[in-house]
Structure 1
Amino acid sequence: MLKQNLKKNKKGFSLVELLVGVAVFTVICVSVYSAYTSIFDVVHASRARLGAVDLSNEQFEIIRNLPYSDVGIYGSIPSGVLVHSQTLVRGQASFDVTITVRNVDDPFDGILGDTPNDLSPADFKLVEVEVNCATCKNFTPVIFTTRVAPKNLETASTNGALFVKVFDANGNPVEGANVHIENTTNNPPITIDDVTNANGMLQVVDAPPGVNAYDITVSKEGYSTDKTYASTVSNPNPVKPFATVALQQVTQLSFAIDRVSTFNVSSVTQTCVPVPGIDFNIQGAKLIGTSPNVLKYDQDKVTGGGGTLTINNLEWDSYLLTLQDASYDLIGWNPISPISLIPNSTQAIQLVVAPKNPNTLVVTVTDSSTGLPLSGVDVTLSRSGFTPVTEITGQGYINQTDWSLGSGQATSTNPAQYFSSNGNVADNSPAGDLSLSQIFGEYVGSGILESSSFDVGSPSNFQKILWTPVDQPPQSGSPSVRLQIATNNDGGDWDYRGPDGTSGTFYTIGNQNIHSSNNSKQYLRYKLFLDTISTSTTPNISDISFTFTSLCMPPGQVYFDDVPIGIYDLHLSKAGYVEQDISVDISSPWQSQDVVLIPN
């Protein structure tokens, strides 16, 4: 019995019990350590703060023992012997000390430029000492202020005053804006770095007079910048020249800044295929000079390898984007240009481009009452001796005008090829056109051709099917030209259907609406059926086109390319609007025309 009890007493802890014990011990140790480090941080921060307070008192003692005329910042206003910023070491801590001195015009005896007019506006000085420790943990800057007044009676000032007013895009005052002022004509030169008050105002009292002497720059973290400009060869007449301060007068200048914004620019085709390396120019509307006009923002940009570019730190303005690419023309932009950018926003911009063709005309149509782009407007370009061309705003198109390189192409990469035929379609008679084949000089009765698949870049709504010539030889019978189309979103199965959405019908008339079952599809193929009842006559096709709307086809815009130079008539019509006819002189490689339609 005794041996059994001894064995029981020798029983140890299980592994689970041991792990639980270690975990509990670890939690206790971590808690104790965290509490210890927290207490240490508090003690350290308290010591640093006491050191900062002592350092502030030290600076104030130095200031109190200075003559009144020396209480100021060297090379600033008011001028004196103090240093604006310095780094001082106390113990093991390094402190950044910033001293700011301002002249104050006390309203008790009047204000300069007001009634009564205070001819000696520098009534006293307000001294601010800020001490910060960037290397100290949990440290809040220490800021103290004091007033310093002269012992003697004031006399009429030989200086003036400079008031800087800062507001945002909505006219609201901007508090805490950084104001940098330089006057290099004074001896010694003057440099002031200060911030605006709650009213968006910085008042520099007792500033030495000078004509176009004060260069002022206003900025703030995350905001745009506004400034004065010197008169130069490139900008002889700045809109906001350097400020002039006159004897016993107040000079007030206003500056506008607000939060900066971003453009996300993409260059794509009308089928949403990215086009990299597109050169373009972006210009704002704000001027910094006149006669000649000097723009505040005017820069050349290039989209990146993926056809995208992010432009940061833009201020609110109206921006115009123009293409200056050697290989591509701009055929539309979304939103329409010029683009109004509001503060603190991100705006996506699509530059829709196409390979460069001579004499491209881009037409933008907007509503007179809303200013918004109008889709669905028929725009017809015509003149004597020129076959009229009609495009519809907000719709892109794909077309094929050449089949001469034959079959064997599943996906349309070469515009002169197709997928397959039954062997009864001649693809180069006449050159680039389609017709029925001949056997021993006689046309076969029917032929079928299936196109390659066209990718419009994103799910789109297909609108119309068109082909030319519209009129076919009557000897061929009617209908001698029939088409079906198939659409999908995977480029796989092709189910050909007609205008009622079934496989038993055919498109037999050019400029016919495509059935809505093809909406929200990305890929398209067509199947062409040519028939004749005469062995001596064949139908003929020279062009097949499909119009569609997509995310990459800007609303309210159409374009015409490869247009011979000359004066053309432009006719615009849309249900519910007054039709318009205007004359357009096409005389340059690329030009645009804005048209405003008025509702009935």
Structure 2
Amino acid sequence: MLKIKNKNSGFTLIEALTLLFVFSIITLSFYSVMSVGLRYIQDSKNRLAALAVANEKMEIVRNLKYDDVGTTGAGTGSLPEDEDVTENGKTFHIDTVVGYDDDDYDNNYPADVIPGDFKQVIITVLWGDAGLGGNNSVELKSRFVPPGLEVANTGDGILSINIFSDQPGGAGIPDSSVHIINNDTVLDTNQTTDSSGNVILIGPNIQDSIQKYEIIVSKNGYETVATMPPFPDTNYNPTFVHASVVSGGVNVANIVQNELADLDIDTVDYLNQPIGNIDFHLNGGKLLGIETTEPFDLIYNLVTDENTDSGGEKEFNGISPGQYEFSLLESGYRIIGIDPPFSYKLPNTGDDIYLLSLFSEPPLGIKVKLASKAVASLLVSVLKSTDKSPIFGAVVQLTNAFGYDVSQITPIDGRAFFPTTTDVFASGLYNLKITADGFSDSDSQVTIIDDQLKVETIELNAI
């Protein structure tokens, strides 16, 4: 019997699965591209609609008389500072800011006694969530110039607010949001600083009022700074008190606002090996004020007890730059130095407080070097005999009869720690010699005891 071989064999299971996999990849890729494309199309439609809303709002402002160009919050006009509108089923939020600008053409304050030369209107339309790139907003700006010569309204006060940084190279902070409130004059307005960090308020709601103009300043990536009522309404003397206005002149309020800073703290031993789970106290940052009674302590915006993780690290992100005090809360350890070196106060106590200087840039990383109080070692502090301040650059030499001979140069904290290597630091009698330019030498003996940190304070006399 003749057998016919069938050449039309079907797909194997592996071939079918491979085909299905390739088809799935193509389908998912097409769907992803289509989804992104649809999102961009929708975002473009929303942006065009928002721009139309902003233009419509600006046209309304352009049809107002100059004296009527203002917001209800500032009491200078009928424009709402915040409102929601719906166009084609889409809800948009409108922020309207009307501020005064001081034109350089006729000089600036104080040479220009009428600094409100013209008005600047900023209309911002926002919509949706974060969206593509988080830029779901459009903004229009326009200047409005008064007709004829500028004339001061005798009944209106003038409040000029300067927002600036006190960091190295600091200047005025542009585009900071400034919220001004005074319940006595029915003022509640939001403004934005100009390119020089200035906001000028003029109008019937800027009236005689002493220390009643509350100012809150904020900006993304910067400190939020708020003025406070004077003592005793605040239980200390605040750094930034509510502003005052006296009619007949320009009233100036200066507020420091700095870019936020980052601080990284590592706790290590004298060989820079991590020591984890160390408790410490940190106090500093923005100076809020001063206590009204002795010892007139400074009050800062960051006061916290923290601890390093198991790897000996603790990060502080987005905190105010400024002076910080670092102290240890661990009874079994002693600070023997900080890298990079910083000065300290209370050098003759077991609870040294190191003074850290933190700037907006660059981020600061410090290594806090610790020594166990239960291990044979020596910490030497070299001080001036007059004011007990540390001596920088002193040579500290430690020797004994068995050939130990190690010298160190003190950093700005005036300290030297022994041992300096992993070699055994033997107990016994040592000779301690200290020399420093401009000071008399010191020769003494110290006894190192097993399982104990020895602390020596040497005072040198100036010559």
Work out whether the TM-score is over 0.5.
Answer: yes
Shift of 1:126: 1.7
Higher RCO structure (Cα 8 Å, ≥6 apart): 1
Counterpart for residue 347 of structure 1: 365
Whose radius of gyration is greater, 1 or 2?
1
Q: Quick check: 1:163–1:251 contact (8 Å CA) kept in 2?
A: yes
Once the two structures are superposed, residues 310-356 of structure 1 have per-residue CA deviations (whole angstroms, 9 ceiling, x without a partner) of: 4444333333333466x557453424522333334132342636569
In structure 2, distance between residues paired with 1:48 and 1:334: 54
Counterpart for residue 364 of structure 1: 381
Once the two structures are superposed, residues 367-389 of structure 1 have per-residue CA deviations (whole angstroms, 9 ceiling, x without a partner) of: 9xx9757574459xxxxxxxxxx
Unmatched 5+ residue regions in structure 2? 343-353, 385-389, 400-406, 409-414, 444-454
Change (3 A) 1:60 1:216: same
Does residue 80 of structure 1 match 2:40?
A: no
- 1:462-477 aligned at under 5 Å gives the runs 462=423, 464-467=425-428
SS in 2 for 1:338: strand
- 1:359-508 aligned at under 5 Å gives the runs 363-365=380-382, 376-377=396-397, 394-396=416-418, 460-462=421-423, 464-467=425-428
Letter in 2 for 1:156: A
Change (3 A) 1:226 1:351: farther
Change (3 A) 1:132 1:324: same
Change (3 A) 1:179 1:353: farther
Q: Quick check: 1:168–1:257 contact (8 Å CA) kept in 2?
A: yes
Q: Quick check: 1:177–1:218 contact (8 Å CA) kept in 2?
A: no
Letter in 2 for 1:171: G
Shift of 1:594: 8.3
Q: Quick check: 1:184–1:213 contact (8 Å CA) kept in 2?
A: yes
Does residue 135 of structure 1 match 2:129?
A: yes
- 1:554-573 aligned at under 5 Å gives the runs 573=434
Change (3 A) 1:299 1:39: closer
Shift of 1:190: 3.1
Q: Quick check: 1:229–1:238 contact (8 Å CA) kept in 2?
A: yes
Once the two structures are superposed, residues 471-505 of structure 1 have per-residue CA deviations (whole angstroms, 9 ceiling, x without a partner) of: xxxxxxxxxxxxxxxxxxxxxxxxxxxxxxxxxxx
In structure 2, distance between residues paired with 1:261 and 1:354: 29
Unmatched 5+ residue regions in structure 1? 380-390, 398-458, 469-510, 513-570, 583-590
Change (3 A) 1:43 1:270: closer
In structure 2, distance between residues paired with 1:352 and 1:83: 59
Q: Quick check: 1:109–1:118 contact (8 Å CA) kept in 2?
A: no
Counterpart for residue 257 of structure 1: 258
In structure 1, distance between residues paired with 2:458 and 2:58: 67
Shift of 1:104: 2.9
Counterpart for residue 245 of structure 1: 245
- 1:23-172 aligned at under 5 Å gives the runs 25-26=23-24, 28-76=26-74, 79-108=76-105, 111-114=108-111, 117-119=112-114, 121-135=115-129, 137-138=131-132, 140-150=136-146, 154-157=150-153, 158-172=156-170
Find the partner of 2:355 among 338, 354, 361: 338
In structure 2, distance between residues paired with 1:298 and 1:28: 54
- The worse-fitting range, judged by mean Cα deviation, of 234-243 and 40-49 is 234-243
Counterpart for residue 189 of structure 1: 187
Change (3 A) 1:296 1:595: farther
Q: Percent identity?
A: 20
- 1:305-316 aligned at under 5 Å gives the runs 306=310, 309-316=314-321
In structure 1, distance between residues paired with 2:82 and 2:286: 39
Shift of 1:253: 1.8
Once the two structures are superposed, residues 433-473 of structure 1 have per-residue CA deviations (whole angstroms, 9 ceiling, x without a partner) of: xxxxxxxxxxxxxxxxxxxxxxxxxx9432653447xxxxx
Letter in 1 for 2:422: N
Q: Quick check: 1:179–1:216 contact (8 Å CA) kept in 2?
A: no
Change (3 A) 1:280 1:267: farther
SS in 2 for 1:86: strand
Query: Normalising to structure 1: TM-score of the pair?
Result: 0.55
Change (3 A) 1:362 1:230: farther
Letter in 2 for 1:253: N
In structure 2, distance between residues paired with 1:596 and 1:107: 59
Counterpart for residue 350 of structure 2: none
Q: Quick check: 2:261–2:321 contact (8 Å CA) kept in 1?
A: yes
Q: CA RMSD in A?
A: 4.7
Q: Quick check: 1:166–1:174 contact (8 Å CA) kept in 2?
A: yes
Letter in 2 for 1:573: I
SS in 1 for 2:120: strand
Letter in 1 for 2:122: E
